[in-house]
Structure 1
Amino acid sequence: MFVLAELEDTVKIEPSAFIKRDHDAITDVLNEKYANKVVQEVGLCICVFDILSTSDRYILYGDGCSYVKVTFRMTVFRPYIGEVLTGKIKSCSPQGIRVSMEFFDDIHLPKETLLDGTSFDPAEQIFVWNYEGEKLFMDIDERIRFKVLAENFADATPSVHPSTSAAGRRQSVADTTASNDLVANSTKIPPYALTGTLQQDGLGLCSWWGS
């Protein structure tokens, strides 16, 4: 579930941080930049694990800040395909189940990957597994065990395009910002997402299996 990823970056240290030890100052900057953020084809960064090497510091003229090239290892959340994980049901829709692991919510179990005999209850807004004549409800916040089926990285970098009004004039900054926010909210794609399945013995609600 968690792996170590080796990364390189140039760290900018503000003069106010010069009183810190080099290791602490560099670690603080890296954690602020990377923690809880997705690096493409790497995964969700959690925190700095260790620092492998640093270059000599240099200061740019008229800047006052110190710069240092760093090679470091980051603790990253990136389960391997086929790994079995446990989370909680966050929400349900006719398309499937969304699972949360507290620190990561972009896990989807499509309805096609649920157990045979599972159906969506529109009144309760949950899925129900019909097992040997008994209805087993998959309630919100129930602990659920699933297997990772696929992962997907998407470029979530916002793009801003010049826009004009109906009269042909350029929109104001406020108008442009509002339009961009509306588009972003309506087409939001997570930078990193997992797809899971329940189609294997031992998967499903933990309460079904006595654990």
Structure 2
Amino acid sequence: MFVLAEMKHVIRTPPWKFHVKLNDAIAEELNRKLANKVVLNVGLCIALYDIVGLEDSYIFPGDGSAHTKVKFRYVVFRPFMEEVIIGKIRSCSREGVHVTLGFFDDVIIPPAALQHPSRFDETEQVWVWEYDTGGGSHDLFMDAGESIKFRVTAENFVETSPKGPETPSDTASTSEAPKEEAKIPYSLTGGINEPGLGLLSWWENS
């Protein structure tokens, strides 16, 4: 679920931080820049693990700051495919079951990946597994807050870099157009359509 990603970056250390050890100043800046941010095709950055190497620092004309090229390793959340994870149901919709891991909310289990057969209850706004008892069926509700075990089946990275400055014509055209939905930079798709997966309570007494 968590991996070490090796990265490189040029860190700018302002003059008022020169009294701090260079490693400490750089570590603080790396965490400020990366912690809780998604790096495209890398994952969700959690915390700095260690600094592998520092190159010489340079001060450029007109800027009193020190610029240092840093090689470092960062703890990143990026589950591998087919990994089984336990989370909690955040909500349900016709799009599927939305799961949270506490620090990461962008997990969805689509209808096709639920236990079969399942239906969406419009009144309760929950998905229901129609469990076959042999002589009929028993409804098992997927309520918000329940612990759920799922298998990671896909991941999706979306480029969310800010666009360049808007021109007056862009502003005029966008003021009339509906606002775009905020893009999710990193999301996971899961599945529970196999024995042992789904709500933990389903299998506790099995």
TM-score normalised by L of structure 2: 0.90
Partner of 1:141: 145
Structure 1 residue 43 displacement after superposition: 0.7
Q: 1:109 to 1:22 in 2, by over 3 A?
A: same
> In the alignment, residue 104 of structure 1 is paired with which amino acid?
F
Question: 1:98 aligns to what?
Answer: 98
Q: Does 1:201 align with 2:195?
A: yes
Q: Secondary structure at the match of 2:169?
A: coil
Task: Summarize the alignment of residues 24-173 of structure 1 with structure 2, pairs less than 5 Å apart.
Answer: 24-131=24-131, 132=133, 133-159=137-163, 161-162=166-167, 164=169, 171=172
Task: Count how many residue pairs are aligned between Structure 1 and Structure 2.
Answer: 200
**1:16: how far off?**
2.0
- 1:168-191 deviations in whole A, cap 9, x for unaligned? xx74xxx96x679x62xx332211
Distance between the aligned counterparts of 2:200 and 2:21, measured in 1?
46
State the superposition RMSD in angstroms. Answer: 2.0
Local SS of the residue matching 1:28: helix
Instruction: Please give the per-residue CA displacement for 1:123-182, whole angstroms capped at 9, x wherever unaligned.
Output: 0101111112221111101111000001111111233553539xxxx74xxx96x679x6
Gaps of 5+ in 1: none
> How far apart in 1 are the matches of 2:25 and 2:156?
33
Q: How far apart are 1:62 and its partner, in Å?
A: 2.1
Partners of 2:68 and 2:185 in 1: CA distance: 28
Letter in 2 for 1:197: G
CA distance in structure 1 between the partners assigned to 2:167 and 2:113 by the alignment: 42
SS of 1:24 mapped into structure 2? helix
| Structure 1 residues 179 and 53: CA distance shift in structure 2, 3 A | farther
TM-score after normalising by structure 1: 0.88
- Tell me, in whole angstroms, the C-alpha distance in 2 between the residues paired with 1:179 and 1:206: 48
One-letter identity of the residue aligned with 2:75: T
CA distance in 1: counterparts of 2:147 and 2:14, whole angstroms: 44
CA drift of 1:93 comes to: 0.5
